[in-house]
Amino acid sequence: MNYSFKSLWNLMFLFVGPAWFVLVWMIWSSGQLKTEADQHLFFGLVIPGFILIYLSGFLIQKRHAKKLQGMHS
């Protein structure tokens, strides 16, 4: 592999991010979120969820690096 995990992960999110935004916009504009509570719940799950998924990639990479380091010791 010629690229680091971090580079590939960021590149993947560069492409996934706009697709995620389009999906969120489609749900938002569909009229399914009728009340303000529905809208707050939707954004309260979607935005932190996106950030959590993004950050989890770095946690996975860190655990994998530790595992590889243990195998080479």
Q: Give the pLDDT confidence of 5-58 residue by residue, as tens digits.
A: 888 888 999 999 999 999 999 999 999 999 999 999 999 999 999 999 999 989
Write out pLDDT tens, residues 30-43: 999 999 999 999 99
Closest residue by Cα to residue 27 from 14, 44, 36, 39: 39
Closest residue by Cα to residue 24 from 3, 36, 6, 39: 39
Predicted TM-score (pTM) of this structure: 0.73
pLDDT for 6: 85
Question: Residue 73: which pLDDT band, with cuts at 50, 70 and 90?
Answer: low
DSSP structure class, residue 67: H
Question: Residue 69: which pLDDT band, with cuts at 50, 70 and 90?
Answer: confident
Residue ranges per structural domain of the chain:
5-30+41-66
